[in-house]
Each structure stands twice: as C-alpha cells, then as structure tokens.
Amino acid sequence: MTETDASPSTADTADTAAPLSGQELLVREGDIAGDYLERLLDIADVDGDIDMDVEGERAVVAIVGDGLDALVGQHGQVLEAVQELTRLAVVRETGVRSRLMLDIGGWRAARKEELTEIGTRAAQRSLESKEPVKLAPMTPFERKVVHDAVAAVDGVRSESEGVEPERRVVVVPDAG
C-alpha cells in the first residue's frame, strides 16, 4: 500500500469527520443551487441574478431579472421542474435530501400572496356559511400556503383531500 492509499485526502477527511448540519448545510445548499442555476442560465442564454437566503429550515434561492417568463412557464410548471432539477443537483453534492425553494422573477412570491388571500377568503366563506369550502387542486407548495392562511383564522380548519395531481384544500368550520 502506498502512502497516498493509507491516508485520506484533506477533502475526504473533512467530508467524513464533520458533516455539515443545520445552518451550514442550508448555506451550502444555496451555494450549490446558485452555481447550478448560473450554469443553467448560461446554457439557456438568459440574463438573471441569483439571490440566496435561508428562511427557517430551508434554503431559498431566487433568480431575479427581466424576461424570465419562459423559466416560470404556464402556472409555474417550468419553475417547479427547474426547482426539482436544482434539488437533485444539491442532493448529488451533499447526499442529503433538499427542501430548497426556488423563485424565478418573483412569480412564487406573488403566487404566495395570491394564495394567502384565497385561503383567507375561503375561511371567511366557510365561517359565514357554516359549510366546507373546497378549493381547486393545488401543488404541495400552494396547499401549504393556503393551510397557513386558514390557520390564522379562528373558527375554521383546513385539510387536504384527493390524490395528486387533483389534491386540494378543504376549509371546514370548527365543530361547536
């Protein structure tokens, strides 16, 4: 056995001795995602800047700039696909499942505001009518935003029903 075979490289030692966790891992996820997205933008010949942040227990990466509609797609479908590809790039580098959230051109932020309003209005309708209010099918991200909005209204609760891609939020008045 040669000397190089017997002793691991510094990079190998760092990976096995002290795996990243918590905030450090989220920052690393953002860095990996940013690098991946910059390469993607170069390949697609699209101008955009990458912003990275950590919100709660999730890395958040945004591509900002003008003319990004093609990367969002109809109803955010391309955005969802790019987010999944970015998460896969992060997993490949870290070995850890990523919950990274991607926004492109502010679309997800605007959609979050819209969904919060939809959830609040559905909660009010359910309170007034004392009947369940079923919403249109939504993605997991969209349902989470609506559930959070409904949770902020006393006297109602929300639940999800159905199977993807037809899974939807139902707002139900509290018993009593």
Single-letter code of the amino acid located at 69: D
Residue 138 exposure: Cα atoms within 13 Å on the Cβ side? 23
What pTM was estimated for this model as a whole? 0.78
Give the model's confidence band at 176: pLDDT under 50 very low, under 70 low, under 90 confident, else very high.
low
Question: What's the angle, vertex CA 124, arms to CA 122 and CA 127, rounded to 5?
Answer: 110
Domains and CATH numbers, the chain: 3-105 (3.30.300.20), 110-173 (3.30.1370.50)
Instruction: Return the SS3 of 166.
Output: coil
**pLDDT value of position 175:** 82
**54-89 burial by CB neighbour count: b if 16+ within 10 A, else e?**
eeeeebbbbbebeebeebbeeebebbbebbeebbeb
Give the model's confidence band at 11: pLDDT under 50 very low, under 70 low, under 90 confident, else very high.
very low
56 has a pLDDT exceeding 60:
yes
Single-letter code of the amino acid located at 143: R
